[in-house]
Amino acid sequence: MNVIHFTSCPDDPGDQTLRQKAASVKDINDRVRELVAGMRALMVKDKGVGLAAPQVGMLQRVFVTHADGDEFRVFINPSVLWTSQEQAVYEEGCLSLPGIWAEVVRPRAIKIQAWNEKGRAFTLDASGILARVIQHEYDHLQGVLFIDRVDQARRDKLLAKIAKAKK
């Protein structure tokens, strides 16, 4: 299996992978399954609850989750079908932005449709932590990071912290 690594910071002009929109997976084949297995291993190693392919430099619409109390899940070519009116606040972090945390407001529940690594389509109703993780990972496929979902002043502070950590 190929060893996969994190891409560098998104706001580094030298590496904009995390700022681009990921492309749909055309065929759920062994290459995709290998990517999923590598992402799962990396997520487990770093004790993450979710990981999206752009975070490892692959601009493909794939993410995995392992939210607290939930099973390991794979989402390929996901579409968000519904989000609740009701919002929730939760402190988020990201494996691509180590040491950075911020409270983010998002819908409390969602309905999502996707395919798993076996090529099987599924629809999932999620709320609580799982809904949170899914929305965070889904954002990665759109080139969006959780720091984009906080107010400007807070975002500037977080970016300054990221820049400082990189030195």
Active site residue 137: yes
Is residue 79 within 8 A of residue 42, CB to CB? The reply is no
Answer yes or no whether residue 32 interacts with Zn ion by CB under 5 A: no
Shortest reach from residue 18's CB to Zn ion, in Å: 9
Q: Is 94 in the site for Zn ion (CB under 5 A)?
A: yes
Nearer to Zn ion, 6 or 111 (CB): 6
Nearest distance from C-beta of residue 69 to Zn ion, angstroms? 20
Q: Shortest distance, CB of residue 51 to Zn ion, whole angstroms?
A: 8
Binding segment for Zn ion (CB under 5 A), chosen from 11-19, 23-31, 76-84, 87-95, is 87-95
By CB under 5 A, which span of 2-10, 71-79, 93-101, 111-119 interacts with Zn ion?
93-101
Q: Which of 86, 92, 117, 137 is catalytic?
A: 137
- Which residues of this protein are in contact with Zn ion, per CB under 5 A? 94
What are the residue numbers of the active site?
137
